[in-house]
Amino acid sequence: MVEHLCIFDPAYVLYRSLLQAVFNETLVRRFEQASLRAADALVAVSAYTARMVRKALGGPMAEVIHNGIDTDFFCPSQQAKISPKNRTVRLLFVGNLSRRKGADLLPGIMRKLGSGYELLYTSGLRTNDPYVNVPGMKPLGRLNQQQILDAYRHADIVLFPTRLEGLPLAAAEAMASGTPVVATDCSSLPELIDDGVTGRLCPMDDVKAFAVAVSELAAQPE
């Protein structure tokens, strides 16, 4: 049995509807506990998820096996990336435009950064786009895997102000593609990002901290 994100995590309660909460507590919890008892092995994609599953459902501590990615595919381009010193800094957001992913923070971060930065963003699984007219933000729509790789390689920094993650593929794919990530210091992100080495971690919901981290990385692109 593999646990990707514990839906009984107290932090997840903020991002589910009343109907989802009732369904999860009356049916899903019962089925998950039965599955745990029947499983020969329990795996979680992060230590954070393993802790949350044990806290919510009991049972043994899961073995942690981080999500894997294809590093033969997600790898840096052979062409050297041009320094953003004398051009617009290209930021990228990959994911659903949801509160859990921190999409609502993107306009504020862009306002703090001001001119000289542009943010390209995917639409994920959602069709409604409330940010299409926000200055400095440009929608990419839904991308296939090759287009996502190209977007990672084209970007200078991947912006990921999420509020909760089991273990995000987008951040791992970006770093494997040679692009640093500025993300939230929460849930499983510290397991993936070494702050100040492979990217930057910022306090949750701190728009100013994200803007500062982005501008500092942009000033030291090497």
For the chain, percent of residues with pLDDT exceeding 90: 82
Please check whether residue 199 is in contact with residue 183, taking contact to mean a CB–CB distance below 8 angstroms: yes
Instruction: Tell me the torsion sign for CA atoms 134, 14, 50, 4.
Output: negative
Average pLDDT value for residue range 163-179:
97
Question: How many CB atoms are closer than 10 A to CB 142?
Answer: 13
* Domain boundaries, given as residue ranges, for the chain: 2-64, 84-219
Out of 9-23, 75-89, 108-122, which region has the weakest mean confidence (pLDDT)?
75-89
Q: What's the whole-number average pLDDT of the chain? A: 93
Burial class (CB in 10 A: 0-12, 13-18, 19+), 160: buried
The CATH H-level (homologous superfamily) assignment of domain 84-219 is Glycogen Phosphorylase B; (3.40.50.2000)
Alpha-carbon span 14 to 17, nearest angstrom = 8
Beta bridge partners of 182: 159, 200
39-63: pLDDT as tens digits: 999 999 999 999 999 999 998 999 9
120-150: pLDDT as tens digits: 999 866 677 889 889 999 999 889 999 999 9
Question: In this structure, what token pair is assigned to residue 145?
Answer: 């895997």
Alpha-carbon span 4 to 198, nearest angstrom = 23
Question: How many CB atoms are closer than 10 A to CB 103?
Answer: 21
Please check whether residue 92 is in contact with residue 121, taking contact to mean a CB–CB distance below 8 angstroms: yes
With a cut of 90, say whether residue 152 has pLDDT above it. yes
Question: In this structure, what token pair is assigned to residue 15?
Answer: 């991002």
- Which pLDDT value is given to residue 221? 56
Please check whether residue 157 is in contact with residue 106, taking contact to mean a CB–CB distance below 8 angstroms: no
Burial class (CB in 10 A: 0-12, 13-18, 19+), 49: buried
Alpha-carbon span 215 to 128, nearest angstrom = 29
- Which pLDDT value is given to residue 83? 74
